[in-house]
Every structure is written in C-alpha cells, then in structure tokens.
C-alpha cells in the first residue's frame, strides 16, 4: 500500500536475492478499509516510493489506479471463512475479504512464482496462505520477519501519524508481547496467565487502548487456551487516532 | 462433471479446433450440490468418459478425487454477488458459490488460455464470465451453443433418468421457450406477456412442475420487465425426480 519503509525493503531485498524478476505492487486497496478516514490518510507519494524501489533493484512497480483495479463496483469476492471471528477480522468487518480479493487479483495480473508478505500482519499472512492452499494458486508465499525500530516498535506506515509523546509510549506494545512470550518460554501453558502478564504491562500506559491481545494457534490464528504448539501472541491497540498492531511468534516451545 | 454426451463433445471439438493442447476436467464437485441425492445420482463411469475424450482428440483428462480437490474441508470460497437472487441461484442455495470456487481452482491447476462452457447452463456461464473479469483471471471464456435432441430437448446427463413417458413430455420445455422467443421476435416487449405465452404452453403438461421461467438480461441474468436488448428466456422444471433446465438467447431484437 505504498508509503514504503525498511519493513517493505526487507521484502524487496529477500525477493531480489531469490528471484530473477522482482515486481512491487503499490495499491491502496479501497475495499479492505473498514473506515473511510483511515483510507483517506493513505495519501502516498508514488514518485518517492518508486525511487525507493529503484534503489533496491526492483524491476517493475505495478501501481494501478482504483479505477483500473475496479472498473465496475466489484461483485466477486474471495473469502476465507473463520478469519472474521478473531483478532483484526473481528474488529475490521470486511477487511480480510478485501485483502484476499485484491491479492487474488494481483496474483492473476502479475503471475508471480513467489510472493513476499511481512510477518507483522500475521493474520493477513495466514489468510493469504490459506487462500493459496484452498484455491490451488500457483504461487509460493514467503513470510518475512517483522522489522523493528531499535526500541522494539514494529515498522508501520502509521507510525508517522503518532505525536512525539505517543511515539515514546508505542514500544510498550512490543514490550507487552515480549513479556507474554517470556512466560511461554519459561514453561507457562495457560493462555490466560500469558495474557494477564502482558496486559498488566500495558496498564502502565493507559494511553494505549487495547483492542485485543490474544494467544492464538500460529497456523489457524484462532485463540487457544492451553499452549501446546507454535503460537502467536497478537495485539492491536489504539494510541490517539492511530491503530497499531504487532505480534510475536513462539514456535520452539519446550526446546 | 462426466457422464459425457454430445453436448460435451461440442465443447471438446471447438477446443480441439482452436487450441494446441486440450484438457478436459471430469470432477463431480460436491460443494456445488444443494441436494445430496442429486450428488449421489452422479455415478460416473470414468473409463467410458476417458474413451469418449480420446475419440475426440483430447490430450489430457484431469479427473481428481474429491479428497485431492478438498484435502481439508474447504474454507475459501469465491462468490459473485447478485447471482443468488434469481433463477437457479435462488432455488439452489450455495450452488454458484460451489461452481465459481471449483472453477477458480481448476483454472489455477490447469492454467488454460481458453475455457469452454456450454450455453445450456446460461447462468453458470454468466457467473464464470463475471468472476473472470472481476478477478482478472488470465483466461478467455468461450461460450458454446446448446446441443439438442432432434425433438428440441437440450442434452443433459440427467435426461437418462427420465422414464419413457417423461422423456416424451420433456421437449415441451424447449417448446415453451421457443413460443416465448417467437413473441419477442414478433415485437413483444413485455416480459409478462412473453412469460404468459410460454407458461400457457407448459400448462398443457401438468407433469412438468415449473420452478421458474424468467425473461432476463442476457449479460447480468437479472429479470427485466421491458425487453429492449439481448435477453435470455430461462427456465427450470421438474419432471418426476429430475430437474431440467433450458434457455434461449434472443439477441437480434428489432432486426
């Protein structure tokens, strides 16, 4: 969706290392926004983004207009059941349907052999992987680790909308996830206890209004109560007018 | 869906004439059946169907098992809005969602340049065309005219389930469509009058239980009241335990 930063650069560098031809799509997809103000805040500087891609050795940028992508109001949707009940799917109605639909379109237009997605959007990654498997799409999905600021804040285009005061508080979100992850690494198998520890940390920053903080199965992204395999702790919180999301994966339980 | 007949042969012959490589898919798709008895009646003889394809110069038959196509219960669906309110979409809940989902899968697996569909399943053809356009699928949809018995009955795998008595009555369905089409060709622009004329013909055969008979726009497949462009008269009727569908396209109005 443009407004490119070092998180996107990690995707491009990985693709550049693994592929003959690298295509970057830049498209602020109207049908995945549940709130109009959020969509309108995505005013991207395409020229700047294209320059950014060029410095990373990208071969093509695909940057269609909304009119080109949706010449008529879209009537066909790709939907993965079970992803609207939890996490972002619960709080952003229609969001993942918009994501899977536009990703299906982009795959059909570009026909990539591999497609690179960031782990920061963990539920998006899971829903795309499920779509690709269920619909036999001829593309390999590559997950790229989240890139963070030195203080732990996950990179996001939305970070620049934070005030300096909010920016100083924002790393607490990742801090809370790490506290939860430490609980699990130390042997805690109760999701309730993990959540309690993480949320206690967040309560020190009442400016962070938590939308959800859940311990979920790492592949299905559905909440678990007893932790017995790879899990993700995923959270979303509001800071002023900005919604931030983050997650950590804990996949080496008991090792 | 196998049980191949001369209607399918027309698709294969057209593909054989236009393409270097011809692939036929034979798959009785469980997720497009709204009634279990109808699904179970589709007991196909794969060896016979493959021989049929061979005589027509088909290069490959793709005949997966349900387990291969749906290794897990499917959670991803492709759905075209607006097709469930009318005609077969109204009377067969979930049917077109099952069709578009499996066709999307088949397109991803086979990657055809062209795909051939029969005009007999007019609403299916329209929904697939809409899906392809909306999702930018890199395939050209080719519509092939309905093949009929000498008495007018559209070929269908279901015809052989008719008793001899029912088989004798079945052509009345096409007869009614032709009566409606004649009304339009003679200048009638009222869908109500066209339906009345066609239904009057069907009332002579009370064994035919009409599910719908509608005059619809030929591209959107939604009912029209005043006929001013290409339309389709589409019908579905039950004869004993067998559901038959048929349609005629009238696209040279006023010429």
Give the catalytic positions of A in this structure.
Answer: 8
In this prediction, residue A253 carries a pLDDT of 66
CB distance A135–B75 less than 8 Å? no
Domain A157-250 has CATH 3.90.650.10: no
Task: List the single residue in B with minimal CA-CA distance to A132.
Answer: B76
What ipTM does the predicted assembly reach?
A: 0.93
Q: Domain B6-144: give its CATH code.
A: 3.40.50.620
Is there a common fold for A6-144 and A157-250? Answer: no
Taking a C-beta distance cutoff of 8 angstroms, is the pair B62, B1 a contact? no
> Which of B108, B131, B136 lies nearest to residue A109, judging by beta carbons?
B136
In this prediction, residue A83 carries a pLDDT of 85
Q: Give average pLDDT by consecutive 10-residue segment, chain B, 255 residues.
A: 96 98 97 90 91 98 97 95 90 95 98 98 96 98 98 96 97 98 96 98 96 95 95 97 96 67
Domain boundaries, chain B: 6-144, 157-250
* Mutation for B interface: A75, A126, A138, most B CBs within 10 A: A75
CB distance B78–A76 less than 8 Å? yes
Distance from A126 to chain B by nearest Cα, in Å?
12
Per-residue pLDDT of chain A (255 residues; tens, 9 = 90+): 999 999 999 999 999 999 999 999 999 999 999 888 889 888 789 999 999 999 999 999 999 999 999 999 999 999 999 888 899 999 999 999 999 999 999 999 999 999 999 999 999 999 999 999 999 999 999 999 999 999 999 999 999 999 999 999 999 999 999 999 999 999 999 999 999 999 999 999 999 999 999 999 998 899 999 999 999 999 999 999 999 999 999 997 654
CB distance A76–B138 less than 8 Å? no
CB distance B137–A108 less than 8 Å? yes
The set of long-range contacts for A220-226, using a CB threshold of 8 Å and a minimum separation of 24, is A220/A82, A220/A126, A221/A83, A221/A86, A221/A87, A221/A122, A221/A123, A221/A126, A221/A127, A222/A82, A222/A85, A222/A86, A223/A86, A223/A191, A224/A191, A225/A190, A225/A191, A225/A192, A226/A189, A226/A190, A226/A191
DSSP H stretches of helix in A19-114: 36-41, 46-55, 66-69, 87-91, 95-110
* Mutation for A interface: B98, B132, B135, B222, most A CBs within 10 A: B135
From chain B, pick out residues whose CB is under 8 angstroms from the CB of A136. 105, 108-109
């Amino acid at each position: 969706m443009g407004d490119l930063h070092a998180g996107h650069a990690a995707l491009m560098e990985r693709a550049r290392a693994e592929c003959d031809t690298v295509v970057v799509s830049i498209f602020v997809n109207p049908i995945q926004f549940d709130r109009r103000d959020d969509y309108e805040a995505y005013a991207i500087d395409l020229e700047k983004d294209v320059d950014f891609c060029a410095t990373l050795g990208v071969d093509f940028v695909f940057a269609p207009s909304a009119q080109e992508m949706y010449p008529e109001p879209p009537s066909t949707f790709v939907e993965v059941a079970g992803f609207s009940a939890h996490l972002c799917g619960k709080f952003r109605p229609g969001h993942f349907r918009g994501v899977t639909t536009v990703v299906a379109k982009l795959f059909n237009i570009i026909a990539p052999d591999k497609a690179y997605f960031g782990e920061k959007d963990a539920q998006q990654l899971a829903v795309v992987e499920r779509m690709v498997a269920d619909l036999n799409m001829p593309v390999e999905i590559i997950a790229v680790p989240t890139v963070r600021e030195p203080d732990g804040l996950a990179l996001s285009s939305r970070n620049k909308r934070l005030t300096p005061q909010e920016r100083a508080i924002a790393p607490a979100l990742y801090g809370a996830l790490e506290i939860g992850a430490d609980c699990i690494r130390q042997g805690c198998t109760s999701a309730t206890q993990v959540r309690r520890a993480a949320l206690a940390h967040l309560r020190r920053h009442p400016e962070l209004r938590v939308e959800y903080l859940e311990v979920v199965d790492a592949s299905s992204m559905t909440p678990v109560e007893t932790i017995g395999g790879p899990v993700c702790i995923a959270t979303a919180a509001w800071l002023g007018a900005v919604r931030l999301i983050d997650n950590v994966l804990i996949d080496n339980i008991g090792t």
